[in-house]
Amino acid sequence: MERRNPPPGGRDGKSHPVLNAISILDTVLAKVETFILAYGILLMFLNTIGNVIGRYLFGQSLYFSEELNQFLIVLVTFVGLGYATRRGRHIRMSAFYDQLSDRGRKILMIIIAAVTGAVMFWLSWISYEYVASVANSGKVTPALRVPLYLTYLWVPFGFFLTGIQYALTVLRNLRDPDVWISWEAVDSYDEIDGTAAGSGEDRE
């Protein structure tokens, strides 16, 4: 799938202040997500390895290891939602979609992105209410004794970031030509077709 992120302009190619601001915001969010995912996975790895070393070499596991990994799994999963959507790496069932014309695929993509984005924002609100109720309960985690709501705080945050990405997908398709599956990924199979053709030539 070909990827490109052209200057934030419309069909006339001119830059627009609002689109410039959106592109800057998206770039900042991408860096934040990348930082959280990279160091979240690294910390999960170090925590697991440290727990194994402590258990088998010193006979003593890290008492907080399982709890910390649970927190990191929630963090990586829900922050990763927005990252995968930005990169156009979410799962798509495209049997019907692929049969449409370019205009039909663009219209369908706008509808899909708009509906999915609305669902993401709704889930963000629902999960926020749940996190708020957990925070009001005053519960803490068993091992680290930190407020329990901090474990679930990333759920509404991740849903909200994902909703933003789908909203940006709608905007990109309304402003620019081609069919965009995210703010920075255009729907294209040129690379795949070229790879397949190259493989056929190698076999010959």
CA-based R_g, the chain, Å: 21
Work out the pLDDT band at 21, boundaries 50, 70, 90.
confident
Identify the CA nearest to 94 among candidates 4, 164, 188. 188
Secondary structure letter of residue 134 according to DSSP: H
Position 50, amino acid:
G
Instruction: Give residue 138's region: left, alpha or beta (phi > 0; psi -120 to 50).
Output: left
Identify the CA nearest to 63 among candidates 132, 124, 143. 143
Identify the CA nearest to 164 among candidates 102, 120, 129, 201. 120
Secondary structure letter of residue 99 according to DSSP: G
Secondary structure letter of residue 2 according to DSSP: -
Kindly state whether residue 174 falls inside one of the protein's structural domains.
yes
Kindly state whether residue 196 falls inside one of the protein's structural domains.
no
Kindly state whether residue 10 falls inside one of the protein's structural domains.
no
Kindly state whether residue 114 falls inside one of the protein's structural domains.
yes
What's the token pair of residue 136? 């009001």
How many structural domains comprise the chain?
Answer: 1
- State the Cα–Cα distance between residues 161 and 182, nearest whole angstrom: 13
Work out the pLDDT band at 14, boundaries 50, 70, 90.
low
What's the token pair of residue 63? 């008492």
How many Cα atoms are found within 13 Å in the side-chain-facing hemisphere of 84? 12
- The beta-strand segments (E) located in the chain are none
Whether the model pTM is above 0.75: yes
> Model confidence over 59-88: pLDDT tens digits?
888 888 888 999 999 999 999 988 888 888
Q: What is the pLDDT of residue 97?
A: 78
> Model confidence over 83-128: pLDDT tens digits?
888 888 777 777 787 788 888 888 989 999 999 999 999 999 999 9
- Which structural domain, as residue segments, surrounds residue 162? 17-189
